[in-house]
């Protein structure tokens, strides 16, 4: 199986809010990286997880599927999943796939943190 | 095509490498010209649905077959699959795709065989297509809300072909058919046969399809029970029941 071409860094933004900085490609091969990042992000009891897409380089439909499974996982734990830093192109992908019905998009980190 | 034009096509207007592979966002599906034998119901004007807008439990079902002994690359497989997609479907089921083939934004009408000799008419929209995969999104009324991704990739120096569905049954009636077993069974039988037919095109026969089912979300979404209004099975059945009446009405009009 090809290697995932993605790195995910987790940081704490404020109490109970974690940020996952995504850099590279979100495809089906990024599953382990994304789920590991989520586990790390929620280990301290975060109830809101912000996905930072500023450095997203590529996403295919399998990548969108991963975001859905991540969303369900977060919802089952009573956590909110939010996104920021999406380019116009990736905002359109969220609308095309109707992911925006469940994951609110923000322009920048400050806006997302204020809403979290 | 010049190098700069090729590069622009690859990068897309937004500068993203994947831009050219994605369809544009639409509120409603739009069906183009179809052959006269196609039953064109339950597609035009319907909203596309992700798994988030469905009613039933969310499942990720992955069907795979390995092309053992074949030399076809993943791009060979996907090129063939896109060009000849309807040919690999099991007997009795029809896929009326656009003449331009499987490409982002295209809408196809499906006439699917169901018990009782009836045909369920629904459709899909291609939301993503690259050289190694393509993805359909389903409309309101389809058996399930969600995405089906068809892909091929290399694993241990052989090509594996895969169908992966991330779906919820669209409404309580479809969910009941899944819970009772025959909905899942029909789905599994369909994709097993499709993959076996595709593998046979590359000279691979007798290799078993492997399947992995993951229940992503065991909860139903009662807020989406209203989806039953668009149930393509019910609407297709009513349409067929009404066929004699439409024939009589047409005859009456011709006499006038």
Pairing of strands A80-84, A48-59: parallel
Two tokens, residue A70: 């991540």
pLDDT of residue A2: 61
Helix intervals (H) in B3-158: 3-11, 74-83
Report d(CA B165, CA A65) in Å as an integer.
9
A91 assigned to some structural domain: yes
**Average pLDDT score over chain B:** 90
A12 assigned to some structural domain: yes
Could you tell me the CATH number of the domain that includes residue A93?
3.30.750.24
**In angstroms, what separates the C-alpha of A56 from chain B's closest C-alpha?**
9
**A59 at the B interface (CB within 8 A)?**
yes
Which CATH superfamily includes the segment(s) B14-242?
A: START domain (3.30.530.20)
Ranking A15-24, A84-93, A101-110, B110-119 by mean pLDDT, the lowest is B110-119
A34 assigned to some structural domain: yes
Residues in B whose CB is inside 8 Å of some CB of A read 12, 14-19, 21-26, 48-53, 58, 60, 127-128, 130, 133, 135, 137, 147, 149, 151, 153-155, 164, 166, 216-217
Report d(CA B221, CA B55) in Å as an integer.
5
> Where in chain B are the domains?
14-242
Q: Which of B2, B22, B3 is nearest to B12 (CA)?
A: B22
| Adjacent-strand bridge partners of A6 | A24
Count interface pairs A-B at CB distance under 8 A: 82
Domain encompassing residue A35: 6-115
For B95, the enclosing helix (H) or strand (E) is: strand B94-96
Q: pLDDT confidence of B2, banded at 50, 70, 90?
A: very low
Report d(CA B228, CA B2) in Å as an integer.
51
A90 three-class SS: helix
pLDDT of residue B144: 95
- CB contact (8 A) between residue B14 and residue A88: yes
The model carries a pTM of 0.91
B97-149 pLDDT, tens digit per residue, is 987 789 999 999 999 988 777 889 999 999 999 999 999 999 999 999 999 99
Mutate which of A69, A72, A97, A105 to disrupt the B interface (most B C-beta within 10 Å)?
A97
For this complex, say whether ipTM is above 0.95. Answer: no
A106 assigned to some structural domain: yes
For B66, the enclosing helix (H) or strand (E) is: strand B58-66
Report d(CA B181, CA A80) in Å as an integer.
33
Contacts of A41 (CB under 8 A, 6+ apart): A10, A18, A19, A20, A49
Say whether pLDDT at B3 is over 60.
no
Residue A13 phi/psi, 5-degree rounding, is: -100, -40
Ranking B4-8, B15-19, B74-78, B173-177 by mean pLDDT, the lowest is B4-8
A1 assigned to some structural domain: no
Average pLDDT value for residue range A12-17: 92
Average pLDDT value for residue range B150-168: 95
Split into its structural domains, chain A has a count of: 1
Over pLDDT 70: what percentage of chain B? 93
């Amino acid at each position: 199986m090809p290697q995932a071409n993605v790195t995910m860094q987790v940081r704490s933004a404020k109490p109970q809010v974690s940020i996952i900085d995504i850099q590279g490609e979100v495809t089906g091969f990024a599953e382990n990286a994304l789920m590991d990042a989520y586990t790390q992000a929620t280990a301290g009891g975060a109830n809101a997880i912000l996905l930072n897409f500023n450095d997203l380089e590529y996403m295919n439909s399998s990548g969108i599927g991963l975001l859905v499974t991540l969303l369900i996982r977060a919802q089952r734990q009573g956590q909110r999943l939010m996104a920021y830093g999406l380019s116009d192109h990736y905002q359109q992908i969220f609308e095309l796939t109707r992911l925006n019905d469940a994951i609110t998009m923000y322009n920048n980190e400050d806006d997302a943190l204020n809403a979290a | 095509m010049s190098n700069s034009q090729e590069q622009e096509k690859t990068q897309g207007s937004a500068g993203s490498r994947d831009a050219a592979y994605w369809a544009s966002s639409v509120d409603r599906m739009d069906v183009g010209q179809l052959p006269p034998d196609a039953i064109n119901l339950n597609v035009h004007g319907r909203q596309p649905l992700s798994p988030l807008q469905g009613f039933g439990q969310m499942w990720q079902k992955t069907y795979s077959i390995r092309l053992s002994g074949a030399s076809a690359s993943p791009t060979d497989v996907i090129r063939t699959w896109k060009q000849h997609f309807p040919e690999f479907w099991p007997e009795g089921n029809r896929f009326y795709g656009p003449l331009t083939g499987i490409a982002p934004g295209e809408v196809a009408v499906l006439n699917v065989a169901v018990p009782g000799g009836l045909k369920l008419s629904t459709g899909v929209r291609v939301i993503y297509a690259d050289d190694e995969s393509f993805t359909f999104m389903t409309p309101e009324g389809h058996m399930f809300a969600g995405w089906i991704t068809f892909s091929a990739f290399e694993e241990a120096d052989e090509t594996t072909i895969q169908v992966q569905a991330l779906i919820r049954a669209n409404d309580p009636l479809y969910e009941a058919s899944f819970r009772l077993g025959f909905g899942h069974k029909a789905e599994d039988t369909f994709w097993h046969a499709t993959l076996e037919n595709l593998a046979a095109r590359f000279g691979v026969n007798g290799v078993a399809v492997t399947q992995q089912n993951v229940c992503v979300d065991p909860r139903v979404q009662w807020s989406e029970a209203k989806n039953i209004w668009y149930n393509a099975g019910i609407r297709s059945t009513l349409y067929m029941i009404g066929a004699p009446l439409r024939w009589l009405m047409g005859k009456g009009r011709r006499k006038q």
